[in-house]
Structures are given as structure tokens and as C-alpha cells.
């Protein structure tokens, strides 16, 4: 056990996380607007007969589902490699925007346009494993 040091570069990680909070707000606003357009009122989550609305809703919900995983990998991976970690966070964020815009076409297959975001997420996963191993003294 020794004194923990935090790189000043971790500030980049913090600011990228802030950017992802705005991403979630943007996705949420699209759902609110789609509720008006397709007349799906609260507390209903999905439309029974209009999958165009459901595509907008799923783009938001799927991002929410993966967000905790992103966050924990962003924190741990970012502690190991702050600048690389922040860059990976931006790639993931861009991937989620592409995912949403693809989903918004109404063709679910086009959400896969955001698949490049996994490059960011997988790199963060590797950095997280490295963080764990380095703490344990294996590397």
C-alpha cells in the first residue's frame, strides 16, 4: 500500500464523461420529441403499432443500458492511461451518436453504423485489465 497518485491528465477523462452526460440528454430529448410526433403518451414506453417511435426509444434505452459498463471502464481504464482513456471515451461517444442516427432512420439494421464505438470500449477494457494487473504487481 502506497500513496495513490492521480495524473492531472485525468481531468480529460472527467470532461469526456461530462460530454457523455450531454449525449444522454440529447438522446432523451429525441424521445420526448418523438412522443409528440408519434403520439405516444406517458407512462407508455413503446408504441404498439409504430416501430419508428420504438427505434427512437431504443436508441436512448440501449445507450442507458451500456452506460454503467462504459463508465466503470472509463474510470478504471482512465486511471491507467488518462489521455488514451479520454480519447477512447470520445470514440465511444461518437459511436453512440452514429448508432442513434442509424436507428433514427427507422431501419434497426442501420444502428450498426455505430459499431466503431466498440474500438473505444474494448480499448478501455484492455486498459482496465492492465490497471488491475499493475495494482497487483503483475506488470
Q: Which residues bind its own copies (CB under 8 A)?
A: 1-15, 17-18, 21, 24, 41-46, 51, 54-55, 57-58, 61, 64-65, 67-69, 71-73, 76, 103, 108, 111, 125, 128-129, 131-137
What contacts 48, CB < 8 A, 6 or more positions away? Answer: none
Q: How far is the CB of 58 from its own copies (least distance, A)?
A: 4
By C-beta, is 37 or 134 nearer to its own copies?
Answer: 134
With respect to its own copies, which residue has the nearer C-beta, 59 or 91?
59
Backbone angles phi, psi at 21, to 5 degrees: -65, -40
| Cβ distance to its own copies smaller for residue 91 or 129 | 129
Residue 84's H or E segment, with its range, is helix 82-103
4: phi then psi, degrees, rounded to nearest 5:
-85, 130
Sign of CA dihedral 133, 137, 138, 139: positive
Please identify, using beta-carbon distances, which residue of 94 and 129 lies nearer to its own copies. 129
> Which residue, 12 or 92, has its beta carbon nearer to its own copies?
12
Work out how close the CB of 94 gets to its own copies at its nearest, in angstroms, rounded to a whole number. 19
User: What does the chain come to in residues?
Assistant: 139
- We find the least distance from the C-beta atom of residue 97 to its own copies, in angstroms, to be 17
Q: Across 41-126, where does the E strand assignment appear?
A: none
Contacts of residue 51, defined as CB under 8 A and 6 or more positions apart, other chains included, come to 106
Amino acid at each position: 500500500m502506497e500513496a495513490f497518485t492521480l495524473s492531472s491528465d485525468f481531468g480529460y477523462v472527467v470532461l469526456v464523461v461530462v460530454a457523455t452526460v450531454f449525449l444522454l440528454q440529447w438522446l432523451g430529448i429525441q424521445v420526448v420529441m418523438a412522443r409528440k410526433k408519434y403520439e405516444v403518451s406517458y407512462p407508455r414506453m413503446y408504441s404498439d403499432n409504430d416501430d419508428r417511435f420504438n427505434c427512437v426509444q431504443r436508441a436512448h434505452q440501449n445507450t442507458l443500458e451500456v452506460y454503467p459498463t462504459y463508465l466503470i471502464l472509463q474510470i478504471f481504464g482512465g486511471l491507467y492511461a488518462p489521455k488514451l482513456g479520454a480519447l477512447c471515451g470520445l470514440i465511444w461517444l461518437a459511436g453512440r451518436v452514429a448508432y442513434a442516427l442509424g436507428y433514427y432512420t427507422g431501419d434497426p439494421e442501420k444502428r450498426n453504423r455505430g459499431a466503431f464505438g466498440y474500438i473505444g470500449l474494448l480499448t478501455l477494457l484492455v486498459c482496465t485489465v492492465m490497471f488491475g494487473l499493475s495494482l497487483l504487481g503483475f506488470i
